[in-house]
C-alpha cells in the first residue's frame, strides 16, 4: 500500500478503523488492517472525513472587497450595483490571481470541491474565460464546477441569454438564473421555464439563485419545482438561497415542500450571507432570512450549506472554512439536537457532493483517496471546534498538513480530575 491511516473515526460513527490507500484510491477499510505501507499516519482516534464541498460560491468576485468601494448599506441590491461598477475594470489576470489565492485557502481547509457561479452579463465573458482557466489549473487539487450565472437577469439584461449559451458552449457546466431579479414575477417565472428547457435540451444541471428576498410572495421555487418535474430533471436541479421561504405563510409552505420533493429539487442555504443580507429592511423583530432548513430536510429534500461569498461586494469576511459555514447554519436554524448537528456536517460534505454529482466521493473502498483528517473525534466536535485540519489528501497525496496546536498550563497543584478535552 502507498499509505495507511491507523485508528481513525469516520463520520458514519465507525471508530478506530484503518484506511489503506493505493494508487490514489481507498483500497481497504477495517479494524487493524494487516498491511504495510510507504507511509503510516496515526489518526489517534481523530475523524477522517470526505473533503468539504461548497455547493454555492462566487469565485469571480472573491477577494475583491473594497473594489472600488465598500457596500455601505449591506444589502444584496447595493452589492449587485457595486459588482456592476467593478465589472468594467476586471482583468483576467486579477480574476485568476484572486481565485487561485482563494483555492490556496480552500485546499488548506480541506475544501476540495466548489460549485462557483460565474457572471455571464459582461459581454466580454472575461470572468468565464478566467474561471475556466482556473478550473483547469486547480484540477489536480480540487474540483471546480462552474454555473453560468446571469447576474443582471436573463430577460432583464438584453445579451444575457446569448452570453449564457456562449458560456455553456465554452465549457461551463451548469445553467444558472436569478428569477427574483427579473422585472416582474411573470418574467421571473418565464426565465425559469426558458432556462430549465435549455438545460433539459443540453442534458445539464440547473442551479438558480431563487427567491433571495424577504418578500413572502417571491415564489419562483414553485415554478422551478414545476419545471423540474415537467421536464424530468429530478436530481439535477437546485434552488439556491430560497430565503423568501423564511417569510412565507405556513399554509403555503405546507403545499410547497411536497412540490419541491416531487420535482427532485435540492436546496442550498447560505447561512453566513443570508443572516447578514436578509432582514435589512426590518426594524425589530428582525428576520433571520435563512430558508427553512429543518423543514426541508424533514420533507426528504437535500439541503446543503454554501459559503456564497468571501471578501466581496456582499460579504467582508470568510476564509473558505466550511466548518464556519456549518456552525452558522446550525445556529441560525437552531439545529442543536445530535442528529441535527450531524446533518449540518452532512450539509457541507456528502449532501453538496450529491448536488454537484461528484463521483467516487466518500470514505468507501474503491473511491478516490480524497479525505481530511480533522483534530476532532466526530462531526459534532468538528463543528464545535471548527477543528484544525491535521492533513488534507487528494488522490492519495498529502496536499496540506498542519501540526496540532495544544496547550496545557503547567501549574503546581493543578487538580487532575477534569479531563474534558476542549482542544484534544
Residues 392 and 320: their CA atoms lie apart, in Å, by 14
CB of residue 309 to Fe ion, shortest distance in Å = 7
Least distance CB 31 / Fe ion (angstroms): 43
Answer whether 275's CB lies under 8 Å from 253's CB: no
Q: Report phi then psi at 269, rounded to 5.
A: -95, 150
**Nearest distance from C-beta of residue 352 to Fe ion, angstroms:** 14
Specify whether the CB–CB gap between 318 and 272 falls below 8 A: yes
Instruction: From the candidates 78, 197, 212, 262, give the one annotated as an active-site residue.
Output: 212
* Secondary structure class of 309 (helix, strand, coil): coil
Binding region for Fe ion (CB under 5 A): 308
Q: What is the DSSP string of 235-254?
A: TSEEEEE-THHHHS-HHHHH
Q: Which is nearer to Fe ion, 173 or 308 (CB)?
A: 308
Instruction: Tell me the closest approach of the beta carbon of residue 58 to Fe ion, in angstroms.
Output: 6
When the beta carbons of 147 and 341 are compared against Fe ion, the nearer one is 147
Q: Distance between CA atoms of 41 and 37, rounded to whole angstroms?
A: 10
Residue nearer to Fe ion on the CB measure, 119 or 308: 308
Q: How far is the CB of 72 from Fe ion (least distance, A)?
A: 20
| Residue 398 dihedral angles phi and psi, to the nearest 5° | -75, 120
Nearer residue to Fe ion within complex by CB, 7 or 157: 157
Give the phi and the psi of residue 301 in degrees, each rounded to 5.
Answer: -100, 135
Q: Whose CA is closest to 295, among 343, 267, 257?
A: 257
Residue 262's SS3 state is helix
Sign of the alpha-carbon torsion through 89, 171, 208, 140: negative
Smallest distance from Fe ion to CB 242, Å: 12
User: Which residue has the CB atom at the shortest distance from Fe ion?
Assistant: 308
Q: Which is nearer to Fe ion, 214 or 308 (CB)?
A: 308
Q: Least distance from C-beta 56 to Fe ion, angstroms?
A: 6
Is 324 tagged catalytic?
A: no
Beta bridge partners of 241: 210
User: In this structure, are strands 39-42 and 3-10 parallel, antiparallel, or unpaired?
Assistant: parallel
**DSSP at 51:** P
DSSP-assigned beta bridge partners for residue 6: 42
Q: Are 1 and 20 in contact (CB under 8 A)?
A: yes
385: which 3 cell numbers? 471546534
**Residue 198 grid cell:** 435549455
For residues 353 and 395, what is the distance between their CA atoms, to the nearest angstrom? 16
Catalytic residue IDs: 212
Amino acid at each position: 500500500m502507498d499509505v495507511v491511516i491507523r485508528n481513525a473515526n469516520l463520520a458514519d460513527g465507525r471508530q478506530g478503523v484503518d484506511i489503506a490507500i493505493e494508487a490514489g484510491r481507498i483500497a481497504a477499510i477495517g479494524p487493524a488492517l494487516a498491511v504495510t505501507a510507504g507511509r503510516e499516519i496515526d489518526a489517534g482516534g481523530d475523524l477522517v472525513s470526505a473533503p468539504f464541498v461548497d455547493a454555492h460560491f462566487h469565485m469571480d468576485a472573491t477577494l475583491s472587497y473594497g473594489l472600488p468601494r465598500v457596500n455601505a448599506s449591506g444589502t444584496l441590491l447595493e452589492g449587485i450595483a457595486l459588482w456592476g461598477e467593478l465589472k468594467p475594470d476586471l482583468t483576467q489576470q486579477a480574476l485568476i490571481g484572486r481565485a487561485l489565492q482563494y483555492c490556496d485557502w480552500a485546499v488548506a481547509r480541506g475544501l476540495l470541491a466548489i460549485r462557483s457561479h460565474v457572471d455571464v452579463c459582461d459581454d466580454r465573458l472575461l470572468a468565464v474565460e478566467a474561471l475556466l482557466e482556473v478550473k483547469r489549473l486547480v484540477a489536480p487539487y480540487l474540483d471546480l464546477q462552474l454555473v453560468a450565472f446571469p447576474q443582471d437577469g436573463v430577460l432583464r439584461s438584453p445579451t444575457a441569454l446569448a452570453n449564457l449559451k456562449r458560456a455553456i458552449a465554452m465549457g461551463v457546466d451548469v445553467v444558472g438564473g436569478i428569477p427574483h431579479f427579473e422585472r416582474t414575477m411573470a418574467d421571473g417565472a418565464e426565465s425559469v421555464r426558458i432556462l430549465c428547457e435549455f438545460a433539459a435540451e443540453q442534458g445539464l444541471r440547473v442551479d438558480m439563485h431563487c427567491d433571495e428576498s424577504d418578500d413572502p410572495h417571491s415564489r419562483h421555487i414553485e415554478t422551478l419545482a414545476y419545471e423540474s418535474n415537467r421536464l424530468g430533471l429530478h436530481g439535477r436541479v437546485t434552488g439556491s438561497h430560497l430565503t423568501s421561504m423564511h417569510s412565507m405563510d405556513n399554509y403555503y409552505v405546507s403545499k410547497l415542500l411536497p412540490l419541491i420533493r416531487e420535482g427532485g429539487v435540492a436546496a442550498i442555504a447560505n447561512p453566513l450571507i443570508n443572516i447578514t443580507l436578509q432582514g435589512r429592511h426590518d426594524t425589530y423583530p428582525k428576520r433571520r432570512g435563512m430558508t427553512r432548513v429543518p423543514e426541508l430536510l424533514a420533507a426528504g429534500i437535500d439541503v446543503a450549506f454554501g459559503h456564497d461569498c468571501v471578501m466581496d461586494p456582499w460579504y467582508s469576511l470568510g476564509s473558505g472554512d466550511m466548518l464556519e459555514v456549518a456552525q452558522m447554519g446550525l445556529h441560525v436554524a437552531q439545529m442543536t439536537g445530535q442528529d441535527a448537528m450531524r446533518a449540518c456536517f452532512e450539509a457541507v460534505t456528502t449532501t453538496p457532493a450529491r448536488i454537484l454529482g461528484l463521483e467516487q466521493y466518500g470514505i468507501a473502498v474503491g473511491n478516490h483517496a480524497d479525505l481530511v483528517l480533522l483534530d476532532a473525534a466526530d462531526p459534532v466536535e468538528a463543528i464545535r471546534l471548527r477543528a484544525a485540519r491535521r492533513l488534507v489528501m487528494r488522490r492519495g497525496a498529502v496536499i496540506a498538513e498542519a501540526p496540532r496546536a495544544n496547550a496545557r498550563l503547567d501549574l503546581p497543584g493543578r487538580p487532575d480530575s477534569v479531563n474534558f478535552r476542549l482542544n484534544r
